[in-house]
A and B are shown apart, each in its own frame.
Chain A
């Protein structure tokens, strides 16, 4: 028997009332229940970073977070990054300018991770960027351009 639980989640500044089984992950709540499919499911085991979102401003993996664990926290997804008028976040713009993707599947996770990486002050050198972006795998191997994009965005944000 499914145990259901009502919860309020704050996603990208908006409140959402949901009734979910406690075992539903934040990733599935976003994609399957709220139609926010920008956050991707790669491995579903915490190994690839495709599902990276921010909870209270810190980057975390939505596939290993239960939706109920995010109650009372502020969740930001890739859909919440651009400004209301559609102007891209500097990291998004840098990914476009540097051609930092091929298939694009890992990209939302890369961008969410990069925004946090820069904010944490871990984008000081290419080596530091590689180390602190290591939790985001790219099967297309777009890594050189991803590093360029993070380096560029870090300079602009600074």
Chain B
């Protein structure tokens, strides 16, 4: 592990000033950063502990939005009545993630910024080729065992999955990431690897997430997060879907629907084709099953991850049927 200095920021201004030093990184719950420092994947020379900055650990709800502080813990946010009732997909995505211990430590801002679980990325001693870790070094997963890797949004440089759950729910609910500098729509926040897989979000060095804003609507209140994984609990998604659905007054015509996918793509993935095919339609089980195949339009398998292309549409269909009141 790199030897690093440590300082504790008392304010956002102090944190971003300290974080602009070369080699400095923000430290929140530490569940990604301390782990990756031990693996020698992250090599900070200074950590700026933001976890005690006051006022950023709350959840506020008004008529239009929820505002979730970047330092609120996963366990705290998951059980807030206002979140459970108005944004069930958020609460479910948090409770289905990690373990009780990790959820007590991990923050909402850090959660969005978690890194891939690609085994080659996490093991520099074993595998020198990883473009995400060392740009230009190649990709050990291409031609390796790509069981957990992406079928959507991959490039020749990197096929690593974005592993988080919360960001998938936030993508379906069209959240906004507020930083010390600006507001970023969640669809613009994460970027596909392309030729620069080391860059995963549009955040600039030293920029800090301060809050997540989630708009309230009938769709957000009728939302769910479905996660399918290889163990019953405490495992990342093989495939997951966040869906929000609002009906017309007749209770059967789909006024609006948002669908996002997890565990499949290099970033939280919005399934716009599924949404377009269902908007304005009367809810119908067979139609939903058929249309859910559009979720994996353009998907490319790399051998061991082919099962994801078969699995994902079923997960999408089940999640839509659930919020549609059919199952």
Residues of A within 8 A of B (CB): 1-3, 5, 21-23, 25, 44-46, 49, 52, 58-61, 64-66, 68-69, 113, 116-117, 120, 122, 130-136
Contact = CB atoms under 8 A, between A and B. Distances in A.
Given A46-B102, A59-B104, A22 B4 contact: yes
Contacts, number: 83
A1 B27 CA distance: 21
Instruction: Tell me which of B4, B5, B27, B34 has the highest count of chain A C-beta atoms within 10 A of its own C-beta.
Output: B34
B100 A22 contact: no
B303 to A, nearest CB: 26
A61 B102 CA distance: 7
Contacts of B38: 44-45
9 contacts: A59-B104, A60-B101, A60-B104, A61-B31, A64-B102, A113-B100, A134-B99, A135-B100, A136-B99
A1 B3 contact: yes
Interface in B269-284: none
B113 interface: no
Interface of B: 1-6, 27, 30-31, 34-35, 37-39, 47, 49, 51, 75, 98-102, 104-105, 232-234
Given A64-B34, A64-B102, 12 more contacts: A3-B3, A22-B6, A45-B39, A46-B31, A58-B75, A59-B101, A60-B105, A66-B30, A66-B47, A69-B30, A113-B101, A131-B233
A61 B233 contact: no
Contact of A135 (B1, B6, B34, B98): B98
Contacts of A44: 38
Contacts of A66: 6, 27, 30, 34, 47
Nearest to B103: A135
A132 B100 contact: yes
The 3 closest A-B pairs by CB, nearest first: A135-B99, A22-B6, A134-B233
Contacts of A59: 100-101, 104
A77 B44 CA distance: 29
Contacts of B105: 60-61, 64-65
Given A61-B102, A113-B100, A135-B100, A45 B35 contact: yes
Nearest to B51: A69
Contacts of A133: 100
A44 B34 CA distance: 10
Given A60-B105, A131-B233, A134-B233, A3 B34 contact: no
B6 A122 contact: no
B233 A65 contact: no
A122 B39 CA distance: 33
Contact of B6 (A5, A25, A49, A52): A5
A85 to B, nearest CB: 30
A117 B100 contact: yes
A23 B2 contact: yes
B4 A3 contact: yes
A1 B75 CA distance: 38
Given A45-B35, A59-B104, A113-B100, A64 B3 contact: no
Contacts of A65: 30, 34, 105
A45 B123 CA distance: 12
Contact of B1 (A23, A46, A60, A68): A23
B99 A64 contact: no
A132 B101 CA distance: 9
Contacts of B100: 59, 113, 116-117, 120, 122, 132-135
Contacts of A1: 3
Nearest to B96: A131
A45 B49 CA distance: 20
A49 B34 contact: no
Contacts of A58: 75, 104
